[in-house]
Amino acid sequence: MSEQMERSLISICKAAKSDKLVRLNYSISRINSNHKNIALNLVCNNQSVIEFAESHGAYKTAGKLSSKLGATSITDIAKAPKYSVNFDG
Protein backbone atom coordinates (compact mmCIF):
# COMPACT_ATOMS: atom_id res chain seq x y z
CA MET A 1 0.00 0.00 0.00
CA SER A 2 1.31 3.45 -0.85
CA GLU A 3 2.21 5.91 1.87
CA GLN A 4 -0.49 8.30 0.61
CA MET A 5 -3.15 5.57 0.85
CA GLU A 6 -2.01 4.66 4.36
CA ARG A 7 -2.28 8.30 5.46
CA SER A 8 -5.77 8.51 3.94
CA LEU A 9 -6.91 5.36 5.74
CA ILE A 10 -5.49 6.64 9.01
CA SER A 11 -7.46 9.86 8.51
CA ILE A 12 -10.62 7.76 8.11
CA CYS A 13 -9.85 5.93 11.36
CA LYS A 14 -9.31 9.25 13.11
CA ALA A 15 -12.53 10.63 11.65
CA ALA A 16 -14.45 7.57 12.84
CA LYS A 17 -12.97 8.05 16.31
CA SER A 18 -13.90 11.77 16.33
CA ASP A 19 -17.64 11.02 16.04
CA LYS A 20 -18.00 13.82 13.48
CA LEU A 21 -20.02 12.69 10.47
CA VAL A 22 -18.87 15.57 8.25
CA ARG A 23 -15.23 14.67 8.90
CA LEU A 24 -15.93 10.98 8.20
CA ASN A 25 -17.79 11.72 4.96
CA TYR A 26 -15.01 14.04 3.76
CA SER A 27 -12.25 11.54 4.58
CA ILE A 28 -14.03 8.75 2.72
CA SER A 29 -14.80 10.92 -0.32
CA ARG A 30 -11.13 11.95 -0.59
CA ILE A 31 -10.17 8.41 -1.57
CA ASN A 32 -13.17 7.96 -3.90
CA SER A 33 -14.61 5.18 -1.79
CA ASN A 34 -17.93 4.65 -0.05
CA HIS A 35 -19.12 3.95 3.48
CA LYS A 36 -19.98 0.31 2.79
CA ASN A 37 -16.55 -0.46 1.36
CA ILE A 38 -14.87 1.20 4.33
CA ALA A 39 -17.15 -0.55 6.86
CA LEU A 40 -16.39 -3.95 5.32
CA ASN A 41 -12.68 -3.63 4.67
CA LEU A 42 -10.95 -1.13 6.96
CA VAL A 43 -9.28 -2.31 10.17
CA CYS A 44 -8.07 0.32 12.66
CA ASN A 45 -5.66 -0.85 15.38
CA ASN A 46 -6.72 -4.49 14.90
CA GLN A 47 -10.47 -3.73 15.14
CA SER A 48 -13.03 -3.23 12.41
CA VAL A 49 -13.59 0.48 11.85
CA ILE A 50 -17.06 0.13 13.42
CA GLU A 51 -15.74 -1.61 16.54
CA PHE A 52 -12.94 0.95 16.72
CA ALA A 53 -15.39 3.86 16.66
CA GLU A 54 -17.64 2.22 19.26
CA SER A 55 -14.69 1.49 21.56
CA HIS A 56 -13.96 5.25 21.58
CA GLY A 57 -17.58 6.24 22.22
CA ALA A 58 -18.10 7.48 18.66
CA TYR A 59 -21.61 6.10 18.24
CA LYS A 60 -22.73 8.48 15.46
CA THR A 61 -19.93 7.45 13.11
CA ALA A 62 -20.25 3.78 14.11
CA GLY A 63 -24.00 3.94 13.46
CA LYS A 64 -23.51 5.61 10.07
CA LEU A 65 -21.06 2.93 8.95
CA SER A 66 -23.23 0.11 10.35
CA SER A 67 -26.30 1.42 8.54
CA LYS A 68 -24.48 1.23 5.21
CA LEU A 69 -23.96 -2.52 5.56
CA GLY A 70 -27.63 -3.13 4.78
CA ALA A 71 -28.95 -6.64 4.25
CA THR A 72 -26.90 -9.72 4.89
CA SER A 73 -24.99 -11.11 1.95
CA ILE A 74 -22.34 -13.75 1.39
CA THR A 75 -18.90 -12.46 0.41
CA ASP A 76 -15.81 -14.47 -0.39
CA ILE A 77 -13.55 -12.84 2.19
CA ALA A 78 -10.50 -14.62 0.84
CA LYS A 79 -10.82 -12.52 -2.33
CA ALA A 80 -11.68 -9.21 -0.64
CA PRO A 81 -8.61 -7.09 0.17
CA LYS A 82 -8.33 -6.00 3.79
CA TYR A 83 -6.49 -2.85 4.77
CA SER A 84 -5.15 -2.58 8.28
CA VAL A 85 -3.50 0.49 9.76
CA ASN A 86 -2.08 1.18 13.20
CA PHE A 87 -1.43 4.63 14.58
CA ASP A 88 -0.83 6.42 17.83
CA GLY A 89 -3.45 9.01 18.53
Residues 6 or more apart in contact with residue 64 via CB below 8 angstroms: 21, 24, 35
pTM over 0.95: no
* Chain segment 5-49, per-residue pLDDT in tens: 999 999 999 999 999 999 999 999 999 999 999 999 999 999 999
Asked if residue 76 has pLDDT above 60, the reply is: no
Residue 69 vs residue 82, higher pLDDT: 69
